[in-house]
Amino acid sequence: MRRLLKLALQKPELAATLLLLLMVLFFQVRSGGVFLDYNNLRGILGFLPEMALVAIGVTLLMIAGEFDLSVGSVFALSPMTMAVLMVAGWSFWPAFLVALLACVVVGLLNGWLTIWFDIPSFITTLGMMFMARSMTVVVSGGFPPRLDFELIPEHLFVAYVGPGEMFRASFLWLVAIAVIVGMLLSRTNFGNWVRATGGFLPAAQAMGIPTHRVKLACFVICSVLAGLAGIIQVLRLGSPLPSLGMGYELQAVSAAVIGGTSLSGGIGSIIGGIIGATLIRVIDNGMVMSQIDGTWFQFAVGALTIFAVVGNAWLRKRGRAMKVETDPK
Amino acid sequence: MTDPIIQVKDLHKWYSGVHALKGVSLDINRGEALGLVGDNGAGKSTLINILSGLHRPDQGQILMDGRPVDIRNPKDAMGLGIETIYQYNSMVPIMSIARNLFIGREPLKFSLGGLGWLDLKRMREDSVAAIADVDLHLRSPDALVGELSGGQRQGVAIARAMHFRSKVMILDEPTNHLSVKETNKVIGFVRGLRDQGVTAIFISHNMHHVFACCDRVVAMALGQVVLDKRIGDTSIEEVQDVL
Amino acid sequence: MRLKGLALVATLLSGTSALAQEPLDIVFTVHSGASNTFWQAVQKGFEDGCTKLAANCQMVYVQTDGSVQEQVANMEAAIARNPDALLTSIVDNNAFDDVIKRARDAGIIVIASNVDDLEGAAGNARQAFIGQGFVPAGYSLAQAQWKNMPAEGDLHILVGVSAPGQNWSEQRALGVTNFLDEQIAANPDRKITYEKIDSGTDLATVGDRVGAYLSANPNTNAYFDTGFWHAAVGRVLADRGVEPGKVLLGGFDLVPEVLEQMKAGYVQVQVDQQPYMQGFMPVMQVYLAKTVGLAPADIDTGQGIVTPDMVDAIMELSAKGLR
């Protein structure tokens, strides 16, 4: 039993889950029992898939050893592209596919520039963040196009599904994609290559892994997931504004790190990233309920986030330090 | 007895303007343990990197089993049966032993276009067997390589090379950072390679280690071969004088 | 003298800037990033004005929304080119004083647009302000919405400060709370309360935060946003099956999302600051200053309160970027 606890504490996702439960409990008490009320939970679960999908992409790329700061801008560029095409007369699915294709292009550019010119991805994607945001304004022609929701299969993306109408279809997308990417990472040879590339690039290269192609693939997956998330948000909230997704890149990296992803690569988990994203949403939402003064709000969110990361690291250290007899072999 | 498995003919390599290899020619005989010595900058790492597939020669030819080969990348080298145990770059510390063993050549349950589902069971079983074969007893194939000692890591690297049936095993400074006990193990292992029909290239700056397990010694300096003799025909002092 | 006067009038009537040998050179620096939809209407007004005058115009946004330092740097770069005029928003009482003075000393016309120094004309050397007074606008919004609130009983109101610390947001909120404070004083027999939160500038975030607040405070009667993000709150209410009008929503700036929500009945009042005017009028004033020597004058672009019955007409204009 003790051994199980030791193993559990060392897994970053489990430590993050513990913290999540702690936070939920804390807010439930502070809000006088309202935090977990039906409507509020529904709201959180509606927003969560959009944040979490971005976090999944960023996590995967960080495991491969690179960063993508342009996800927030791609989050806006993708639905804007789709909306502009639809206003021009295209039907939903072709517009949707072209929007995702635009994300593929951004991902390839991010990857190619980083790898070919050997510059830190932090810088490449920082530049892309500005460029993609600007492209979004350009594409919109200055004015956000109106989407005709008659032409959009909302039920596939944002309609409420399941018992009690608690979850939206986007949540199912999140689960499916989380499973796919998670399996990709842990059960395929590609996943092995991703960890090796991020974990210790020289060894990966020396053993013949096509590290450039691995990184490129991760850049593309990251951008596409961000673009998909943006489309989902626009389908949920109705308007493709050029200002969507601002600041999401930092939240996504925070989510990944809280979930146990290492900033230096190789270590991380998809589940951890999702839990991290959930934690961030819970903190943001719960803080409102806790009657924190408006001017202290940002401070409180930041402090809690630091607490979450520190708590995570501390729990893992305790787990490592636990004295358990190892089996003599 | 001189049946060359690898022949290197007049190899030249330039690195950022430096002439690192100046016309190196060498025969590596089948089943022999060749010791490669020299100071830093002598060119031994460059020669090894070319044989491992990390770099390509600017001029010259490499023959394997009498046929000219073009080693474009590490995969090509491994495909020819050349396995390298690098000084620093063999293992990914944050990954498990099993995953490191099969890195880049993972056994797949089913695959499409090079990507496929890992056969984790086989990876685990084969890892245990491979490690046992080199007389190493480790806790579990799921242990992270980063948790192992230097000698244990070397052991895993060697187990990996053996598992993939290398014809030629290159060991780059394998005894660095090892304890006395671990060093003796490695030396004994290199001697044993001959019995298994594996050719070994043993790079070291420690003359004693080289003389303890090799059949032949080649010394390099400033990008050229300066000595090439059977161990029995020379002595440590002679080699040190040349360098 | 009479001939000169006739020539001037003739030029004005012909509508060309023939008197000015080269085209007018005007730069407009703002405190916002380019992805803020509101500014697109301002830019359209600006560019339309410039087109009419065949002037050379440039609008300069900042990279970091709200960054005063970046805006000052942009202004410095702008006046280095020695344009005919510098149009700018003034979001800080002191940071722009120096660069504006230097611009005026160099003979450049300086007109403030959209946001003004809190000290007004006394605050710096700008020649006029064309825009909306934020505090009066907030006051008018609250006043208009007050008519829709229940006439009796307790009231609880939420005010969402979109960007705490930023001039435009704080002042609008102040206008709203000023009005509310008056009502509290005037109605001693009723329990009227209000609260301010950091609501955010991202649609999804605002929707989530206000949604959370409403869950915790189900007796909330109305929500004021200092921008247009209450449109997301309308969505949240619709998702929860709350009928339009049960929680009153009001805010600033006409963007399509808000107009949609007005049609749906969730948003009752909206303040329009007529951004097109904020871009167009300064250009005209520059022209008049340069050609006829008229001194630029203040223009209050309005506390136009928009209500649902006006929506259809506005939507058309909004699509063309005019409102």
Q: What are the DSSP calls for C67-110, one per residue?
A: -HHHHHHHHHHHHHT--SEEEE---SSSTTHHHHHHHHHTT-EE
pLDDT for the residue C322: 66
Q: Give A193→chain B minimum CA distance, Å.
A: 7
The pLDDT of C236-261, averaged and rounded, is 90
Interface touch C207/A294, C-beta < 8 Å = no
- Tens-place pLDDT, residues A25-68: 998 988 888 888 888 888 899 999 999 999 999 999 999 999 99
Three-state SS at A7: helix
Q: How many separate domains does chain B show?
A: 1
> Does B touch C (3+ CB pairs < 8 Å)?
no
Interface touch B104/A188, C-beta < 8 Å = no
Tokens coding C68: 């005063």
Q: CA nearest B163: which of B134, B135, B183?
A: B134
Query: How many angstroms separate the Cα of A117 from the Cα of each of A114, A182, A218, A264, B16?
Result: 6, 30, 18, 20, 18
Write down which chains contact chain C via at least 3 CB pairs under 8 A. A
How far does chain C reach from its first CA to its final CA, in angstroms?
Answer: 43
Query: How many angstroms separate the Cα of B212 from the Cα of each of B40, B193, B215, C246?
Result: 22, 14, 9, 91
What is the identity of the amino acid at C293?
G
Q: Cβ contacts (< 8 Å) between B137 and chain A: which residues? A: 329
Q: CA nearest C209: which of C258, C267, C160, C266?
A: C160
- Asked if the model's pLDDT at residue A253 lies above 50, the reply is yes
Q: Cβ contacts (< 8 Å) between C37 and chain A: which residues? A: 143-144, 241-243
- Asked if the model's pLDDT at residue C9 lies above 60, the reply is no
Which of C35, C209, C319 lies at the smallest CB-CB distance from A242?
Answer: C35
Which residues neighbour C232 within 8 Å (Cβ) at sequence distance 6 or greater?
Answer: A237, C203, C204, C206, C207, C210, C257
Interface touch A202/B89, C-beta < 8 Å = yes
Q: Taking the domains of chain A in order of start, what are their residue ranges?
A: 25-321
CB B178 within 8 A of CB B203: no
CB B172 within 8 A of CB B48: yes
Whether the CB of C163 is below 8 Å from some CB of chain A: the reply is: no
pLDDT for the residue C19: 47
Q: CA nearest C208: which of A241, A287, A73, A251?
A: A287
Interface touch C201/A246, C-beta < 8 Å = yes
Q: Are strands B67-68 and B59-64 parallel, antiparallel or unpaired?
A: antiparallel
Class of residue C235 by CB neighbours under 10 A (exposed 0-12, middle 13-18, buried 19+): buried
Q: Give A216→chain C minimum CA distance, Å.
A: 28
Residue A95 binned pLDDT confidence (cut-offs 50, 70, 90): very high
- In chain C, whose CA is at the least distance from the CA of A131? C63
Q: Is residue B150 part of a domain?
A: no
Which residues neighbour A4 within 8 Å (Cβ) at sequence distance 6 or greater?
Answer: none
Q: Give A189→chain B minimum CA distance, Å.
A: 6
Task: Give just the sign of the alpha carbon dihedral A283, A288, A292, A293.
Answer: positive
The sheet with strand B199-203 has its strands ordered as B82-85, B168-172, B199-203, B33-37, B216-221, B224-230
* Alpha-carbon span A193 to B137, nearest angstrom: 27
pLDDT for the residue C323: 64
- Asked if the model's pLDDT at residue A128 lies above 80, the reply is yes
* Alpha-carbon span A22 to A24, nearest angstrom: 6
- In chain C, whose CA is at the least distance from the CA of A145? C319
Interface touch A39/C196, C-beta < 8 Å = no
CB C42 within 8 A of CB C272: no
Phi, psi of B223 (to 5 degrees): 80, 5
- In chain C, whose CA is at the least distance from the CA of A45? C208
Interface touch A237/C197, C-beta < 8 Å = no
CA-angle at B123, arms to B122 and B129, nearest 5°: 85
What is the identity of the amino acid at C128?
A
Residue of C67, C199, C202, C261 to mutate when probing chain A, most A C-beta within 10 A: C202
* Alpha-carbon span A149 to A160, nearest angstrom: 16
- Asked if the model's pLDDT at residue A6 lies above 80, the reply is no
Please provide the average confidence, as pLDDT, over all residues in chain A: 88
Q: Which range, of A171-175, A191-195, B181-185, C83-87, averages the lowest pLDDT?
A: B181-185
* CATH 1.10.3470 matches A25-321: yes
Residue C284 binned pLDDT confidence (cut-offs 50, 70, 90): very high
At the second CATH level, the architecture of C135-272 is 3-Layer(aba) Sandwich (3.40)
* Fold (CATH) for C2-131+274-302: Rossmann fold (3.40.50)
The pLDDT of B16-31, averaged and rounded, is 88
Three-state SS at B56: coil
Whether the CB of C216 is below 8 Å from some CB of chain A: the reply is: yes
pLDDT for the residue A328: 46
Provide the CB-side half-sphere exposure for C291 (13 A, CA).
Answer: 27
Which residues neighbour A133 within 8 Å (Cβ) at sequence distance 6 or greater?
Answer: A72, A73, A76, A77, A242, C33, C34, C35
Q: What is the residue range of B27's domain?
A: 4-81+166-242
Interface touch C204/A50, C-beta < 8 Å = yes
Interface touch A43/C211, C-beta < 8 Å = yes
- Asked if the model's pLDDT at residue B52 lies above 70, the reply is yes
Please provide the average confidence, as pLDDT, over all residues in chain C: 86
Residue of A11, A185, A189 to mutate when probing chain B, most B C-beta within 10 A: A189
Q: Taking the domains of chain C in order of start, what are their residue ranges?
A: 2-131+274-302, 135-272
* Alpha-carbon span C40 to C27, nearest angstrom: 16
Distance, CA of C144 to chain centre: 18
- Tens-place pLDDT, residues C64-102: 777 888 999 999 999 988 999 999 998 888 889 999 999
Q: CA nearest B2: which of B163, B241, B215, B233?
A: B215
Q: Which helix (H) or strand (E) holds C18?
A: none
Q: Are strands C267-272 and C304-306 parallel, antiparallel or unpaired?
A: antiparallel
Tokens coding A53: 């999908």
Q: What DSSP designation does C20 have?
A: S
DSSP E strands, C94-247: 109-114, 128-131, 155-161, 192-198, 222-225
Helix C230-239 to helix C256-264 angle (10° resolution) is 40
Q: Cβ contacts (< 8 Å) between A214 and chain B: which residues? A: none
Q: Which helix (H) or strand (E) holds B111?
A: strand B108-112
Interface touch A327/B120, C-beta < 8 Å = no
Q: Cβ contacts (< 8 Å) between B94 and chain A: which residues? A: 195, 199-200, 266-267
Write down which chains contact chain B via at least 3 CB pairs under 8 A. A
Q: Give C254→chain A minimum CA distance, Å.
A: 12
Whether the CB of C67 is below 8 Å from some CB of chain A: the reply is: no
Whether the CB of B128 is below 8 Å from some CB of chain A: the reply is: no
pLDDT for the residue A325: 59
Tokens coding B144: 């992270």
Residue of A31, A75, A239, A285 to mutate when probing chain C, most C C-beta within 10 A: A239
Whether ipTM exceeds 0.90: no
Of chain C, the percentage scoring pLDDT greater than 90 comes to: 51
Q: What is the pTM of this model?
A: 0.86
